[in-house]
Structure 1
Amino acid sequence: MQVAVWDTYVTKKDGSVMHFDIIAPDHIKDSTIIYTFGKDYLQSKNQGNQPLTAKECNFCHIEKATDEMVLSIQQKGYYIIEMQNCN
């Protein structure tokens, strides 16, 4: 499975910046859907009201999905790679 990687930086409520990648099937081209995935993830981190738009989230590249990514995409539609300040 090929997936699209969306590089995302969101300012948290405490002012620090979360950096994470949203991984979604490469056929999803609508950024609104990608932002919905990101907002769902932010909600799970108690950051649900933080803005997530083209300013914070941009398409980066296409890559081959790992088994872990595929399982998450089958369950939720997306996978998140936490990079910085995601706790």
Structure 2
Amino acid sequence: MDFHVFDTYVKAKDGHTMHFDVITDKKETEKAISYAREWLKNIGEENVMVTAEECKFCHTQSVPDDMEIEIMTNGYFIAKMEGCPE
């Protein structure tokens, strides 16, 4: 199954940049933005700006089984790249 990757860069509350991918089975920018906001809220960054400027469709790919299970369960997977909490 193919999944859609949305490359996302946001400014954290303290001003540093967080880079992460939102990976989902829906190729819908608004849905990816919603997932990014949900994750950011979960890590205490609920007031960070996320729009189509910060969260852009990048490509489509297959994913490992554990990632696919998380996407099918939660709707998305966050692949932390740079500046994200552990």
TM range (shorter): over 0.9
For 1:54-69, what aligned pairs fall within 5 Å after superposition?
54-69=52-67
Partner of 2:9 in structure 1?
9
Partner of 1:22: 22
Aligned residues: 85
Q: Take 1:30 and 1:2, find their aligned partners in 2: how far apart are those partners?
A: 14
Give 1:41 shift: 0.7
Q: Match of 1:36, as an amino acid? A: S
Deviation at 1:30, TM superposition (A): 2.5
- Percent of matched pairs sharing the same residue: 38
Deviation at 1:31, TM superposition (A): 1.3
CA distance in 1, matches of 2:84, 2:63: 22
Query: How far did residue 54 of structure 1 move?
Result: 1.0
Structure 1 segments (4+ residues) deviating >4 Å: none
Quick one: distance in 2 between partners of 1:65 and 1:72?
11
One-letter amino acid of the counterpart of residue 20, structure 1: F
Cα deviation 1:27-46 (Å, max 9, x = unaligned): x2321111110001101111
1:79 to 60, 77, 80: 77
Structure 2 counterparts to residues 41-60 of structure 1, below 5 A: 41-60=39-58
Residues of 2 paired with 1:59 and 1:30: CA distance?
A: 8
Shift of 1:74: 1.6
